[in-house]
Structure 1
Amino acid sequence: MAAHHIAFWNVENLFDVEDSPRRSDKLQRALGRELAGWNQAQLDAKIAQLAWIIRQLNDGAGPDLLGVCEVENAHVLGLLRDALAPLGRDYRIAHADTADQRGIDVAFLYDGARYAIRDGETFSHFVMRRTATRDLFQVNLRTKPSDRLLVVIGNHWPSRSGGQAESAAYRAIAGETLAYFHERIRQIHGKDVAVLAMGDFNDEPFDPSLSDYALAERQAQKVLNAHTPRLLNLMWPTVGAALGTHYYNNHANVLDQFLVSKGLLTGASGFGARTGSVRVEQFPEMVDAGDYPDPIRFGRGDDANLGGYSDHYPISVVIDEDD
């Protein structure tokens, strides 16, 4: 039986440099002075900090598949991939530019020795909103050498800026979008297809965007017995342990989550999620020394902390594949 170690991390504003020629004039105007002082030295330091943590995942072997969000473009993803070279893996990039008003995207780094992506098997699912937001990014991975299908969907749902309640409708739309494409994937690939949704949902497992709109359940039996496509949210034990992936006003928030399909619970897909393997990866150097275990932010520009990492912790899960 082969084990797949999968991680996700909101890497917090991994932007290209302030005056990058790879940025459109429109995006440069939208960002304004947000990137003032964000130079190559700071970007290199940020990449080094992120890579240091990623290289420690999976007991020092690095993840087989890493989902990330808040990355601006393929260039910074390439820098991150190159910084992971000491792992000796053949990391490749799956990424699509979106219309997000801040230019930040969802992407994947995957080990080419373990996965392949056929032509035409990456999809950006547009989330309807008055102002541009990130798409849901679907990648149909084929595992090597079995050629089994593992569908992964990266998410970075609209933020809570302006108020959690005031912005809740946007995340409800994102939840409906995820549920819709989960159903479409089952129609195309069969009801036992392995689907793993991951990301920064900007809501917690008990919020309506996930429970009512994305149809993400707390109990596996509800997923197994439901007539409509449902997902099991693997983060509920983390909620019960009062362990956050993100901290705000000294509250632990579980915003980063893994959701798995029925096919990953029954094993009928050829894969089985180890539901108890989920971890919030809090390496000691990432944790603030204050009263609450906040992640140490890197920031940017004049406020950059070169010893920081991100305002989110990575999360990880293990999925087994039949021989």
Structure 2
Amino acid sequence: MKNILLIIITTVFIYSCNTAQDKDCKKSFLIVNYNVENLFDTIHDAGKYDEDFTPEGKKNWNSKRYNNKLQKLAYVIQQIDKEKLPDVVGLVEIENKRVLKDLVSQKEIKGAKYNIVHHEGPDVRGIDCALLYNPNTFSVLKSTFYRVNMENNPNFKTREIIYVKGKVNKANDEVHIFVNHWPSRRGGMEKSAPKRALAAEVLRNSIDSILATDAMAKIIIMGDFNDETDNKSITEVLGANNNKDSKTLYNTSATQDDKNIGSYHYWKTGEWNMLDQMIISNGLLNATTGIQTLNTEMQIFRPEWLLHKDKDGNKSPSKTYGKGYYGGYSDHLPIYKHFKFNCK
């Protein structure tokens, strides 16, 4: 009788463990990208044109405003999925590691205990890209920072492209992540286009080196590209589109762009632009094991409280600065995508 009871208890215990594991395995892996609009601290960094973002600068950037922005950005990240904090967050327009440490220590997101991937880049304004990751769900195996240089213009300096090779822990599956912030359209879209094409070429070469050793590598490319999904730098140089039969890169943002939905509102024209994008490799798009796409589209996080409505009823992101200090979140909306995985 005792043996029978022991067998029953053991069976129930094993079943409950497996059930809990299966339930846990059904949770998604959440990746977010967010251009946070000039997340600067209040301290001048030597050699960088960041004087505006100091208490004495023309933006009167003080500790109160800085802490307000940190709290608001952390709240946005927390609210994207109310059931869980993002596993990986790509950030654009951050000043340095100090602001990243201050951000991840905010009460809204400190539970994830985010680790930081960042390198002080060459941009003259002092803005960089960064990657945050939850070490319980994602492990970094390697990180590299690719510079975008112009041979005929040694004074050209822009943001580096972050590359992270990592592992989705519960899936025991390897992924490659790139975070981008390509050169702006300052001076005109056409005149500045070669700079973004150059960034696209650097990125494409890096991707090709990965695919040369693993044709079905799982790659995620995200960031603020300062171009739309149908611009030449994206479709021709990088080779990303919304064709599901594409041999290499599928742009999960293109269908949103087709709906005239965007992550950035250009105030001069009143148009929404899809400058923030998430692109995945064919190997990830068609994966049936390990980490997989939950759906083919990325999403834009745009609750009403994250938007500003003008006197005519037109909506745009609630930004920190415009003609003056607005005290909002960012001039971009965050984008995100859920992935699913099989546990191993």
TM-score by length of 2: 0.84
Once residues 205 and 81 of structure 1 are traced to their aligned partners in structure 2, the CA distance between those partners, rounded to angstroms, is: 31
Equivalent pair of 2:30/2:337 in contact (CA under 8 Å) = yes
Q: CA deviation at 1:144?
A: 1.3
Aligned to 1:5: 30
Matched, 1:96 2:109: no
* Alignment deviations for residues 77-122 of structure 1 (CA, whole Å, 9 cap, x no partner): 011101155562221111111111111111111111101113xx10
Cα distance in structure 2, aligned partners of 1:34 and 1:86: 25
Matches within 5 A, 1:1-323: 1=25, 2-17=27-42, 19-20=43-44, 23=45, 25-27=46-48, 30-33=49-52, 35=54, 36=57, 37-85=60-108, 88-118=111-141, 121-129=142-150, 130=153, 131-188=156-213, 190-223=214-247, 230-248=248-266, 249=268, 250-267=270-287, 270-290=290-310, 291-299=313-321, 303-306=324-327, 308-323=328-343
Deviations 1:104-157 (A, max 9, x none): 111111111101113xx1000111133100011001111214432111100000
The answer to whether the 8 Å contact 1:193/1:269 transfers is no
User: 1:187: how far off?
Assistant: 2.3
Query: How far, CA to CA, are the matches of 1:33 and 1:145 in structure 2?
Result: 44
With normalisation by structure 1, the TM-score equals 0.90
Structure 1 residues 5 and 70 mapped into 2: Cα distance closer, same or farther (>3 Å)? same
Contact kept in structure 2, 1:192 and 1:268, CA below 8 Å: no
Paired with 2:342 and 2:139, the residues of 1 have a C-alpha distance of 18
Runs of at least 5 residues in structure 1 that lack an aligned partner in the other structure: 224-229
Q: Residue type of the partner of 1:197?
A: I
The alpha carbon displacement at 1:286 in A equals 1.2
Distance in 2 of aligned mates of 1:96 and 1:5: 24
Structure whose CA Rg is larger? 2
How far residue 33 of structure 1 moved from its aligned partner, in angstroms, is 3.8
After superposition, give the CA deviation of every residue in 1:279-312 in whole Å (9 maximum; x if it has no partner). Answer: 1100211111133321011128x93222x01000
Q: Give 1:226's aligned residue.
A: none
Aligned-partner residue type, residue 46 of structure 1: K
Partner-residue secondary structure (3-state), 1:67: strand
- Distance across 1 between alignment mates of 2:250 and 2:160: 22
Deviations along 1:182-212, one digit per CA (max 9) or x if unpaired, are 0011224x11111000000000000000000
2:168–2:291 CA contact under 8 A, matched in 1: no
Question: Is the CA contact (8 Å cut-off) linking 1:61 and 1:87 kept in structure 2?
Answer: no
Instruction: Read off the aligned partner of 1:293 and give its amino acid letter.
Output: K
Report the AA paired with residue 242 of structure 1: N
After TM superposition, give the deviation of residue 34 of structure 1 in Å. 5.5
Distance 2:53 2:36 in 1: 17
- With over 3 angstroms needed to count, the CA separation of the structure-2 counterparts of 1:86 and 1:105, relative to structure 1, is closer
Shift of 1:322: 2.1
Q: Quick one: structure 1 residues 286 and 85, their matched pair in 2 at CA, closer, same or farther if it must change by over 3 Å?
A: closer
- CA distance, structure 1, for counterparts of residue 170 and residue 336 of structure 2: 23
Deviation at 1:61, TM superposition (A): 2.1
In the aligned structure 2, how far is the partner of 1:152 from the partner of 1:80?
Answer: 21
Report the aligned-residue RMSD. Answer: 1.8
Q: Helix, strand or coil: the match of 1:220?
A: coil
| Identical pairs, percent | 28
What is the SS of the residue equivalent to 1:83? coil
| Letter in structure 2 aligned against 1:205 | T
- Measure, in 1, the Cα distance between the counterparts of 2:238 and 2:316: 28
Q: Give the length in aligned residue pairs.
A: 306
